[in-house]
């Protein structure tokens, strides 16, 4: 499985999606379905943990952009955490790094959503 979605303890509307390996045409629809269900449950804040993500294709970027648009319409959003240099290059190339915060740690992303502890 290229992703794992888990709720952040103590924050019922915040989750972390750990992306691993590749997000491409073979698996992006499963990610889209899971993220759609998540935002439909009124959990519109998502942290993308990208440390182990090796590659993301355009279809995967579209899934994330779709989620972000739905989340923003519900007063939520999305933050990226620690993408490797290859993924960061892709995010920069398609200007995603201008649309979403890219942070160094999951704790920093949680704090960006909830305020400092």
Burial of 25 (0-12, 13-18, 19+ CB in 10 A): exposed
Q: Considering only the C-alpha atoms of the chain, give the largest distance between any 2 of them, rounded to a whole number of Å.
A: 39
What pTM did the predictor assign? 0.85
- The pLDDT value given to residue 12: 74
Q: State how many domains the chain has.
A: 1
Higher pLDDT: 97 or 46? It is 46
How far apart (Å, rounded) are the C-alpha atoms in residues 93 and 87?
A: 10
Residues 3-34 pLDDT 10s:
666 766 667 778 888 898 999 999 999 999 98
User: Does residue 68 carry a pLDDT above 60?
Assistant: yes
Backbone angles phi, psi at 27, to 5 degrees: -130, 0
Backbone angles phi, psi at 15, to 5 degrees: -135, 165
- Best CA proximity match to 64, nearest among 86, 94, 89: 94
Domain that holds residue 106: 3-114
* pLDDT band at 97; cut points 50, 70, 90: confident
CATH number at residue 62: 3.30.750.24
């Amino acid at each position: 499985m290229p992703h794992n979605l888990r709720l952040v303890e103590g924050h019922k509307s915040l989750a972390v999606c750990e992306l691993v390996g590749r997000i491409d045409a073979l698996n992006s629809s499963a990610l889209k379905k899971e993220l759609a269900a998540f935002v439909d449950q009124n959990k519109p804040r998502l942290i993308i943990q990208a440390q182990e993500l090796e590659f993301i294709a355009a279809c995967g970027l579209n899934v994330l952009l779709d989620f972000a648009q739905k989340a923003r319409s519900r007063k939520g959003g999305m933050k990226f955490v620690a993408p490797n240099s290859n993924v960061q290059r892709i995010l920069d190339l398609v200007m995603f790094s201008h649309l979403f915060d890219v942070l160094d740690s999951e704790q920093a992303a949680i704090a960006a959503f909830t305020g400092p502890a």
